[in-house]
Structure 1
Amino acid sequence: MENVNKKFTLVGTTDSHDMELISKPALTFWQDAWRRFKKNKIAVVAMVVVFATLIFAVLSTIFVPQSAANNFNPDQVQVYKNLPPKLGNLNIPGWNGDFTTPGNTLSSNVYQDQKVPEGTSYILGTDNLGRSLAKRTIVGLRISLLIAFAAILFDIFIGITYGLISGWVGGRVDNVMQRIIEIISSIPYLVIVTMLGMLFGQGVTSIILAIGMFIWTGIARQVRNLTLSWKEREFILASRTLGESTFRIMIRHLLPNMLGVIIVQIMFDIPSVIFAEATLSAINLGVKPPTSSLGSLISDGISSLQFYPYQLAVPAVVLCLLSLSFFLFGYGLRDAFDPKSSED
């Protein structure tokens, strides 16, 4: 009987060793996370918006100083106040200077009615003191981001450290530290803002301290829970057996494994801080005038909403787009670092 095995030839490999080789190169944790993140197109767009906004906020300090947005000429208020948006000499509806002023039924060119010098235009209009809304929104964006990232430093230095110590030590120490977090979380931060305002004066410093005193509790709980889980893993026990110090284990082994969760939590905390600042400004506990933030601009726009709705719409749209970008970026990072989270 003819041997049928001679009629078939295994192609593509020369021996059994070649059959066991992995065709794709091994990916690191960060490379694998980036590969998953790129598949989420909305998150990629949000990331581009976030980084573009941060770069713009930094570069705007050169072209739009804070004094240019705050100062105004008291003798020229009647000429420049409450001007509608206008984009040069282009006749684009909504950006041509036409607006129905209070007391009139027909729209007219406000720039001509108030005798604004020829060639002068404001792309986003002006406020009731004649200050450019575009410049004040840029400065407000800068101040809001400054408050957000300064408050996030409390997350990084206090929250992570507190959570690591609480989870690593455990026992009664952990129990006491968690009760302290519960006490802090139960205090209304409006009370703290009011007290700090009386102590330091109304301004950016008071807002940063008030929000920072509460924002770190969330990430501290997450880091503590992760530490309780990770400290029982084999590689941590091996490090302790080899005599590595606690600090070295936390820095070299615990933190790298928690970094994904920490980054995602920070991305979620940033828009929360921005909204908190906006809320404080809406009840006159925000930044001190004439300094503007997105919250203070929204607060000022609410008072003139009935007659000049664009003064509220401009900062409100910027705030919503910025917060939405951070949230979508955070969700994209969460799904990239933890693929199971997108299935829940």
Structure 2
Amino acid sequence: MAIVNEPMVLDAPVRGRSLWRDAWARLRRNRAAVTSAIVLLVVALASIFGPMVWPHPYDRVYPQYVRAPASLEPYPGAERIVPEFEQALARGRVEVLSAEVTDRGVRAEIRSDREIDPRIVRYVERNDLFSNARLTQTAADGRSAILEADVARVRFIAGTDANGRDLFARILVAIRISLTIGLLATFVALLIGVTYGATAGFLGGRIDNVMMRVVDILYSLPFIFFVILLVVFFGRNFVLMFIAVGAIEWLDMARIVRGQTLSLKRREFVQAAEALGVSNRAIVFRHIIPNTLGPVVVYMTLLVPRVILLESFLSFLGLGVQEPLTSLGVLISEGARNIQGARWLLLYPSIALALILFSLNFIGDGLRDALDPKDR
């Protein structure tokens, strides 16, 4: 019998998973983080596209609706429309038999001892509340008729502020401004702080001492001094100014990363990379920084609300966001001043800020767990 030698079939090599792929798989299993990311994404998209489709511009003033409470019912209400309509008709010396609010406006049945003059509609149109007043269903003798007028009714689901501007439209714009400020400043702080801290911690020795003494000197300088200089150099452009603010907020980030680097550079994988001749730059960016992302991400999620609160302080001093633009910090500050008679001015911006902060915290916890190498 002939023996046939069959070729050995080798199994296909198993593809390994990188740190990022493994972290993404674990992050998707964290329901709180995923839900928070979806909520934050919806809020961000609403702040970007919401003002484009919302019927009230954020800077439009409604002088007749100053501090109007939040309501799902349209303004003005029937309790205001009917009395003002009857008062306007009373100037025309006609008797109002009945008046009611319709879908388009208001309708009244009127009667007079003499023939009704069609010019009576002018008394109605003198009131800014009514428009397109017209006589319909006039009787044969001309002494009774139906008078109708259109009423521009608007809805303020979150009420209006002290100037008569729609609060919900201003909250949408405020979320956009606050998130932009927080993310810009955090990105700059992350870029500078992580690179600076990892370099100082890895090189160590005199270089580390010099670099950290620079950080201590910057810590000792008053923050408001930097803000005044930034306003002088960058003007009132809040984007440029808060990019520069992020360049100051990197100090804490640098210290955190330096502490993590000091403990990591003595680990076996770093020593193995050095033995293989890997350059210091490659070790820092490929081995040190990825293993510090856990605490860095957590601090980053805390830095965003910190910058938002900082922006509120600067706006209060007149150095931040200027009218007609607004931010969550400015809205909350205004709401605190009007809490006695208009609580909704504080309630709704606070809910928006709390929703953003909770989402950022849950996302930060999820990213910390996903990026922690010891939890793999």
TM-score, structure 2 as length reference = 0.67
What is aligned with 1:85?
70
1:63 maps to a residue whose letter is: V
What is aligned with 2:57?
68
Q: Does the CA contact (< 8 Å) of 1:88 and 1:119 recur in 2? A: no
Higher strand share: 2
Deviations 1:200-227 (A, max 9, x none): 3345146504531332112211222222
Instruction: Pick the aligned partner of 1:54 from 41, 44, 47.
Output: 44
Structure 1 residues 115-124 or 270-279, which shifts more?
Answer: 115-124
Structure 1 residues 198-207 or 127-136, which shifts more?
Answer: 198-207
Asked if 1:197 corresponds to 2:187, the answer is no
1:15-54 equivalences in 2 (<5 Å): 29-30=19-20, 33=23, 37=27, 41-54=31-44
For 1:121, what is the secondary structure of its paired residue? coil
Change (3 A) 1:324 1:63: same
* Alpha-carbon distance in 2 for matches of 1:197, 1:299: 22
1:214 maps to a residue whose letter is: I
Pairwise CA distance, 1:326:
1.1
Deviations 1:4-31 (A, max 9, x none): xxxxxxxxxxxxxxxxxxxxx9976556
Higher helix share: 1
Pairwise CA distance, 1:173:
1.1
Deviations 1:86-136 (A, max 9, x none): 22459xxxxx899xxxxxxxxxxxxx9994944311111122332211111
- The runs of 5 or more residues in structure 2 that have no matched partner are 1-14, 80-105, 107-126, 131-150
* Alpha-carbon distance in 2 for matches of 1:114, 1:189: 51
Q: Does the CA contact (< 8 Å) of 2:188 and 2:243 recur in 1? A: no
Pairwise CA distance, 1:250:
2.4
1:53 maps to a residue whose letter is: V
Q: Does the CA contact (< 8 Å) of 2:294 and 2:369 recur in 1? A: no
Q: Does the CA contact (< 8 Å) of 2:293 and 2:368 recur in 1? A: no
Instruction: Pick the aligned partner of 2:174 from 134, 137, 140.
Output: 140
Q: Does the CA contact (< 8 Å) of 1:152 and 1:270 recur in 2? A: yes
Structure 1 residues 113-122 or 157-166, which shifts more?
Answer: 113-122
* Alpha-carbon distance in 2 for matches of 1:263, 1:55: 23
Pairwise CA distance, 1:306:
1.9
Pairwise CA distance, 1:329:
2.3
Q: Which of the pair has more CA radius of gyration? A: 2
For 1:182, what is the secondary structure of its paired residue? helix
1:1-344 equivalences in 2 (<5 Å): 29-30=19-20, 33=23, 37=27, 41-60=31-50, 62-63=52-53, 68-72=57-61, 77-88=62-73, 115=129, 117-205=151-239, 207-209=241-243, 211-338=245-372
Q: Does the CA contact (< 8 Å) of 1:192 and 1:210 recur in 2? A: no
What is aligned with 1:106?
none
Deviations 1:247-305 (A, max 9, x none): 22223222332333332322221122122222333444321111111111122223322
* Alpha-carbon distance in 2 for matches of 1:97, 1:126: 19
* Alpha-carbon distance in 2 for matches of 1:339, 1:177: 28
Identity of aligned pairs, percent? 36
Q: Does the CA contact (< 8 Å) of 1:189 and 1:211 recur in 2? A: no
For 1:244, what is the secondary structure of its paired residue? coil
* Alpha-carbon distance in 2 for matches of 1:328, 1:216: 22
Change (3 A) 1:264 1:180: same
Task: Give RMSD over aligned pairs.
Answer: 3.5
Structure 1 residues 127-136 or 252-261, which shifts more?
Answer: 252-261
Change (3 A) 1:291 1:234: same
* Alpha-carbon distance in 2 for matches of 1:97, 1:298: 32
For 2:248, what is the secondary structure of its paired residue? helix
Q: Does the CA contact (< 8 Å) of 1:46 and 1:325 recur in 2? A: yes
Change (3 A) 1:33 1:242: closer
For 1:68, what is the secondary structure of its paired residue? coil
1:60 maps to a residue whose letter is: G
Change (3 A) 1:272 1:114: farther
- The runs of 5 or more residues in structure 1 that have no matched partner are 1-24, 91-95, 99-111
Q: Does the CA contact (< 8 Å) of 2:270 and 2:287 recur in 1? A: yes
What is aligned with 1:7?
none
Q: Does the CA contact (< 8 Å) of 2:72 and 2:157 recur in 1? A: yes
Q: Does the CA contact (< 8 Å) of 1:281 and 1:296 recur in 2? A: yes
Q: Does the CA contact (< 8 Å) of 2:301 and 2:361 recur in 1? A: yes
Pairwise CA distance, 1:179:
1.6
For 2:171, what is the secondary structure of its paired residue? helix
Q: Does the CA contact (< 8 Å) of 1:281 and 1:299 recur in 2? A: no
* Alpha-carbon distance in 2 for matches of 1:114, 1:87: 23
